[in-house]
């Protein structure tokens, strides 16, 4: 398959590296993927209908900080034009979420590609949090697939699990710890740091953005539970409808008192059915240490799935890396490849 | 689909009840299943090519302790003959594991059905632990499916997850708590009971069999890790090849000392790759309370999956009931139905 790639940061580069080293991974033998276009926001773009040289593209970014204007593959063609004219089978949308822009411009790019009957894989939760219903309808009408495994809990195959492995069961409730910055801060506060120290630590470790309010006020968590609720519970919500309480009001004193009573504080996302509707909220909640949620420390994450046909199951992820996110995208690409056969 | 059912204990009856109450479960709308034969070991058998009346069959077993000889559907036809002659699409093998008989007679029944080009779903781990390679080859040659979701961690969709949701990833290691009797006993010992008291408690609660040595010496755990290793890691092992240390040597003193140092004792099953081979063991191991494994109490279970492409993920199951096992079987049946279309 030929892919047009938007975004070539950590995740895009890691996917390129895995493709280069494909022989190390026996399960990827059937992966058939070349990049015919790679677009970045500020670092230029490359196109080549016979496939971009990936080691060279990575080299350019790492050495020069941008794609090289001297490269034969360098292009000035605007992205929107490329989406409509380039030769590709699959749009890989790897840009980061903009909550203020309600998932734009990613959502528009995805629509454009779907309408051209191209499959889409995105690692950006914005489009699915704000426009899942519309995007999945367009995908269906054009007989192409829209996949987004790595938008929540990185590579952990939540959507694939629900789509393929929970046959016949109806999900009644989802409960999770889904944002690594806030969980990291709360973990550090448990070790004695105050909020600001813990936040700085998170920024040093690369978990928190320079402007971390997006995470701390619960917007990232809200976007993720909205994605889960929209896709797995057929909700029609967006992050604005999710009732949010963040962690900026939490102080060391509270955390210490909880520790004494064998409890932990976690930023918990929940979605549940209420009178033919699905509602969702994000709020700090006390969890007893004997609960598996309490063992989710640092940048770990978890999701509890409750259904009408079995007892709850819980999926935990140990501190994921960029490789996990890259794997989620590859998992999606392999699903598309398989469904095409 | 028409099913020939072997075994009509708790699981078989629960499946029948769910079918009767199908309208309560929106996700089961497409389930198309009737029982054309139900065989038990000691409580008689019913057959009806137009479908057995399930409420009536349950009633007979519950009121009389066996199927009624007065029933028009009662049959004296031997099971082996029925497998070869009855009108059915699917064999539901729901008998319990016999370790001493290496999964027999279930394995032979399954072979017989597969060779007649009938799909097979089994909740009995014996055939998959002892003869997976042979059975899956016969199924492949006859172009039918063999499924066994509820053999490990009841309805938790482990095999469906690995088959459908972990595309491209190669499993490198599996670690789990897979036997409820021993986990229940160790949990109770943590609360102050000695081994024998805890065991009696487990028997009272219905977790442990009258002869519980099968669980306590690690045979059930060994069978389960063998199933997982055979199916998910292409191992060719059986429970006899799994190195086993059970929990009969554990005393209150040890458990108390561990509690003081914030540790728990768990019976851990592990399978891993070693020089082109897969090896497996079962043994009691110390787990820190901060580890999610330590939160698996009473009859809960968990499995950690490590792969070459992402960080470990862990799946936990809260104390399952017979409904979970029944769901695992229904999940398999729906997969077969879907793959037939």
* Confidence class for position B339, pLDDT limits 50, 70, 90: confident
Nearest to A325 by CA among A13, A3, A6, A5: A13
Query: What is the average per-residue pLDDT within B62-70?
Result: 95
Query: What is the average per-residue pLDDT within B184-195?
Result: 94
**Can you tell me the distance from the alpha carbon of A52 to that of A59, in angstroms, rounded to the nearest whole number?**
12
**Can you tell me the distance from the alpha carbon of A132 to that of A111, in angstroms, rounded to the nearest whole number?**
11
Distances in Å between the alpha carbon of B125 and those of A116, A194, B3, B39, B184?
A: 49, 51, 20, 19, 20
Closest chain A residue to the Cα of B171, Cα to Cα: A27
* Confidence class for position B102, pLDDT limits 50, 70, 90: confident
Please compute Rg for chain A using Cα positions. 21
**Can you tell me the distance from the alpha carbon of B238 to that of A3, in angstroms, rounded to the nearest whole number?**
44
Query: What is the average per-residue pLDDT within B106-135?
Result: 96
Please check whether residues B11 and B148 belong to one and the same domain.
yes
Nearest to A333 by CA among A121, A116, A44: A121
- Interface touch A313/B316, C-beta < 8 Å: yes
Q: How close A5 comes to chain B (CA, Å)?
A: 20
> Does residue A199 fall inside a structural domain?
yes
| Strands, E assignment, chain B | 2-6, 34-39, 45-47, 90-93, 119-122, 146-147, 171-177, 243-244, 263-274, 277-288, 301-307, 313-317
**Which residues of chain A does B161 touch, with a Cβ-Cβ cutoff of 8 Å?**
157, 160-161, 165
Residue showing tokens 């755990």: B221
**Can you tell me the distance from the alpha carbon of B169 to that of A18, in angstroms, rounded to the nearest whole number?**
12
A90: its two tokens:
């699959």
> Does residue B149 fall inside a structural domain?
yes
Phi, psi of A335 (to 5 degrees): -65, -45
Asked if the model's pLDDT at residue B98 lies above 80, the reply is no
Please check whether residues A148 and A9 belong to one and the same domain.
yes
Nearest to B284 by CA among B293, B275, B292: B293
Distances in Å between the alpha carbon of B101 and those of A76, B49, B105?
A: 72, 32, 8
Read off the pTM: 0.95
Query: What is the average per-residue pLDDT within B85-90?
Result: 98
> Does residue B162 fall inside a structural domain?
no
Q: In sequence order, what are the residues at sequence separation of 6 or more whose Cβ sits closer than 8 angstroms to the Cβ of residue A3?
A: A33, A34, A35, A36, A37, A88, A89, A90, A91, A92, A333
Does the complex come out with an ipTM higher than 0.85? yes
**Can you tell me the distance from the alpha carbon of B323 to that of B318, in angstroms, rounded to the nearest whole number?**
13
Please check whether residues B196 and B332 belong to one and the same domain.
no
Q: How close B51 comes to chain A (CA, Å)?
A: 22
pLDDT for A341: 66
Smallest Cβ–Cβ distance between A164 and the set B160, B313, B314 belongs to B160
Q: How many domains does chain A have?
A: 2
Supply the CATH number for residue B33's domain: 3.40.50.720
pLDDT for A205: 82
**Can you tell me the distance from the alpha carbon of A59 to that of A65, in angstroms, rounded to the nearest whole number?**
9
B83: its two tokens:
């497998």
Query: Do the Cβ atoms of A189 and A250 come closer than 8 Å?
Result: yes
Please check whether residues A263 and A212 belong to one and the same domain.
yes
Q: In sequence order, what are the residues at sequence separation of 6 or more whose Cβ sits closer than 8 angstroms to the Cβ of residue A305?
A: A162, A166, A171, A174, A312, A313, A314, A315
**Which residues of chain B does A166 touch, with a Cβ-Cβ cutoff of 8 Å?**
157, 160, 331
Closest chain A residue to the Cα of B316, Cα to Cα: A314
**Can you tell me the distance from the alpha carbon of B237 to that of B277, in angstroms, rounded to the nearest whole number?**
10
pLDDT for A97: 67
> Does residue A80 fall inside a structural domain?
yes
- Interface touch A324/B317, C-beta < 8 Å: no
Angle at A186 between CA A185 and CA A187, to 5 degrees: 90
Please check whether residues B113 and B87 belong to one and the same domain.
yes
**Can you tell me the distance from the alpha carbon of B278 to that of A297, in angstroms, rounded to the nearest whole number?**
31
Asked if the model's pLDDT at residue B327 lies above 70, the reply is yes
Query: Do the Cβ atoms of B73 and B55 come closer than 8 Å?
Result: no
**Which residues of chain B does A313 touch, with a Cβ-Cβ cutoff of 8 Å?**
156, 315-318
Nearest to A216 by CA among A256, A185, A187: A185
pLDDT tens profile B268-307? 999 999 998 999 999 999 999 999 999 999 999 999 999 9
Residues of chain A with pLDDT below 70 are 97-99, 209-210, 341
Please check whether residues B198 and B57 belong to one and the same domain.
no
**Can you tell me the distance from the alpha carbon of A174 to that of A202, in angstroms, rounded to the nearest whole number?**
27
> Does residue A162 fall inside a structural domain?
no
Closest chain B residue to the Cα of A304, Cα to Cα: B316
- In this structure, of A9-18, B84-93, B143-152, B318-327, the range with the lowest mean pLDDT score is B318-327
Supply the CATH number for residue B224's domain: 3.30.360.10
Strands B313-317 and A2-6: unpaired
Separation of CA A7 from chain center: 14
Q: How close B139 comes to chain A (CA, Å)?
A: 21
A223: its two tokens:
């976007």
Q: What is the sign, positive or negative, of the torsion defined by CA atoms of A288, A293, A295, A300? A: negative
**Can you tell me the distance from the alpha carbon of A5 to that of A40, in angstroms, rounded to the nearest whole number?**
9
Q: How close A292 comes to chain B (CA, Å)?
A: 5
Please check whether residues A312 and A176 belong to one and the same domain.
yes
Q: How close A228 comes to chain B (CA, Å)?
A: 16
Distances in Å between the alpha carbon of A17 and those of A121, A159, A290, B193?
A: 18, 25, 40, 54
Q: In sequence order, what are the residues at sequence separation of 6 or more whose Cβ sits closer than 8 angstroms to the Cβ of residue B244?
A: B217, B218, B219, B221, B222, B281, B282, B283
* Confidence class for position B210, pLDDT limits 50, 70, 90: low
Please check whether residues A308 and A212 belong to one and the same domain.
yes
* Confidence class for position B341, pLDDT limits 50, 70, 90: low
- Residue A140: HSE in the Cβ half-sphere, 13 Å Cα cutoff: 6
Give residue B227's domain range.
171-317
pLDDT tens profile B129-163? 999 999 999 999 999 999 999 999 998 999 999 98
Please compute Rg for chain B using Cα positions. 21
Please check whether residues A28 and A147 belong to one and the same domain.
yes
Q: Which residues of B276-286 are buried (b: 16+ CB within 10 A; e: fewer)?
A: eebbbbbbbbe
- Interface touch A166/B294, C-beta < 8 Å: no
> Does residue A177 fall inside a structural domain?
yes
Please check whether residues B179 and B51 belong to one and the same domain.
no
pLDDT for A212: 87
Residue showing tokens 């302790």: B65
- Interface touch A309/B292, C-beta < 8 Å: no
Percent of chain B with pLDDT over 70: 98
Query: What is the average per-residue pLDDT within B311-340?
Result: 94
Residue showing tokens 């409820």: B180
**Which residues of chain B does A170 touch, with a Cβ-Cβ cutoff of 8 Å?**
25-27
Please check whether residues A176 and A149 belong to one and the same domain.
no
Please check whether residues A313 and A327 belong to one and the same domain.
no
**Can you tell me the distance from the alpha carbon of B114 to that of B106, in angstroms, rounded to the nearest whole number?**
12
Query: What is the average per-residue pLDDT within B235-253?
Result: 94
Closest chain B residue to the Cα of A325, Cα to Cα: B310
Smallest Cβ–Cβ distance between A309 and the set B166, B169, B327 belongs to B327
Question: Based on the number of CB atoms within 10 Å of its own CB, is A83 exposed (0-12), middle (13-18) or buried (19 or more)?
Answer: buried
User: What is the SS3 assignment for chain A?
Assistant: CEEEEECCCHHHHHHHHHHHCHHHCHHHCCCCCEEEEEECCCCCEEECCCCCCHHHHHHHHHHHCCCCCCCCCECCCCHHHHHHHCCCCEEEECCCCCCCCCCCCHHHHHHHHHHCCCEEEECCHHHHHHHHHHHHHHHHHCCCCEECHHHCCCCCCHHHHHHHCCCCCCEEEEEEECCHHHHHHHHHHHCCCCHHHHHHHHHHCCCCCCCCHHHHCCHHHHHHHHHHHHHHCCCCCCHHHCEECCCCCCCHHHHHHHHHCCEEEEEEEEEEEECCEEEEEEEEEEEECCCHHHHCCCCCEEEEEEECCCCCEEEEECCCCHHHHHHHHHHHHHHHHHHHC
Query: Do the Cβ atoms of A254 and A247 come closer than 8 Å?
Result: no
Asked if the model's pLDDT at residue B100 lies above 90, the reply is no
């Amino acid at each position: 398959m030929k892919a047009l790639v938007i975004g070539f940061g950590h995740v895009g580069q890691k996917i390129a590296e895995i493709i280069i080293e494909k022989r190390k991974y026996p399960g990827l033998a059937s992966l058939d993927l070349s990049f015919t276009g790679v677009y970045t926001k500020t670092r230029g773009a490359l196109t080549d209908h016979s496939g971009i040289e990936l080691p060279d593209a990575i080299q350019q970014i790492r050495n020069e900080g941008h794609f090289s204007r001297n490269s034969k593959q360098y292009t000035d063609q605007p992205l929107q034009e490329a989406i409509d004219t380039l030769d590709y089978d699959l749009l890989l949308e790897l840009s980061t979420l903009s909550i203020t822009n309600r998932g734009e411009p990613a959502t528009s790019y995805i629509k454009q590609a779907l309408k051209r009957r191209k499959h889409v894989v995105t690692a950006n939760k914005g489009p699915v949090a704000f426009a899942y219903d519309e995007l999945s309808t367009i995908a269906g009408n054009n007989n192409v697939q829209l996949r987004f495994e790595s938008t929540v809990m990185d590579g952990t195959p939540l959507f694939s699990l629900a789509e393929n492995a929970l046959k016949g069961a109806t999900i009644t409730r989802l409960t999770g710890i889904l944002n690594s910055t806030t969980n990291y801060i709360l973990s550090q506060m448990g070790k004695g740091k105050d909020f600001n120290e813990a936040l700085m630590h998170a920024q040093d470790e690369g978990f928190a953005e320079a402007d971390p309010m997006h995470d701390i006020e619960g917007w990232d968590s809200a976007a993720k539970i909205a994605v889960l609720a929209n896709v797995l519970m057929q909700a029609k919500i967006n992050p604005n409808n999710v009732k949010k309480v963040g962690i900026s009001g939490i102080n060391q004193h509270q955390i210490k008192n909880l520790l004494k009573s064998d409890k932990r504080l976690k930023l918990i996302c929940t979605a549940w059915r209420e009178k033919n509707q699905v509602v969702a909220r994000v709020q700090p909640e006390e969890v007893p240490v004997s609960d598996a949620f309490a063992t989710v420390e640092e940048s770990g994450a978890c999701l509890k799935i409750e259904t009408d046909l079995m007892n709850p199951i819980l999926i935990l992820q140990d501190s994921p890396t960029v490789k996990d996110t890259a794997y989620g995208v590859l998992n999606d690409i392999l699903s598309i490849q398989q469904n095409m056969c």
